[in-house]
Amino acid sequence: MSKTFTLDEAQALLPVLETLLRRAQTQGRRCAEIEVELEQLRQQIALAGGMHIDVTGTARRRAERDKALQDTKDALAEIEAIGVQVKDLEKGLLDFPCLIDGKTVLLCWKQGEEAIAFWHSTEDGFAGRKPLDARFGRPERDRPN
């Protein structure tokens, strides 16, 4: 069984998760930008049939790309180690497994939202988001049977 969160636990994690998410997004964009730059250089070399390049500078850019990629992976791994699912890095979409009425559902948060206010079943995904209801605010023992 994977980790589950109460609404309060998930909400309390948002500041840490948002920091990790921003780091992963920033480094992911950096990696993509450098990759585009390196691909353009490869195309220039191929079109020119070879050319003199700044080997040291190119190697440095490759190392920067590799570090940015590793930083992205590390931030995502930290989020996943907490037990939170990253559904869309670019949109900042996170799901928190939550046990409601004996069934696992997902608390759903999108970057930019002030608080966790939605949930969906594991099958429905983001398109099936519904507003939280009273079940999410009460401990299991306080719920009617």
Q: Can you say whether the dihedral through the CA atoms of 25, 96, 131, 17 is positive or negative?
A: negative
What pTM value is reported for the model?
0.82
Q: What is the pLDDT of residue 16?
A: 96
Tell me the HSE value of 104 on the side-chain side, using a 13 A CA sphere.
Answer: 11
Q: What is the pLDDT of residue 13?
A: 97
Q: What is the pLDDT of residue 142?
A: 40
Q: What's the Rg (C-alpha) of the chain?
A: 21
In a domain, 53, yes or no: yes
Q: What is the pLDDT of residue 99?
A: 93
Total tally of structural domains belonging to the chain: 1
Q: Quick check: 24 and 75 in contact, CB under 8 A?
A: yes
Percentage of the residues of the chain whose pLDDT score is greater than 70: 94
- Would strands 85-88 and 130-131 be described as parallel, antiparallel, or unpaired? unpaired
> Could you tell me the CA-to-CA distances from 79 to 37, 91, 105, 114, 128 in Å, in that order?
29, 15, 18, 19, 23
In a domain, 102, yes or no: no
In a domain, 77, yes or no: yes
In a domain, 50, yes or no: yes
Q: Report pLDDT digits (tens) over 31-77.
A: 999 999 999 988 988 888 877 788 899 999 999 999 999 999 999 99
In a domain, 88, yes or no: no
Q: What is the pLDDT of residue 47?
A: 85
Q: Containing domain of residue 23, as a range?
A: 17-83
d(CA 109, CA 115): 7
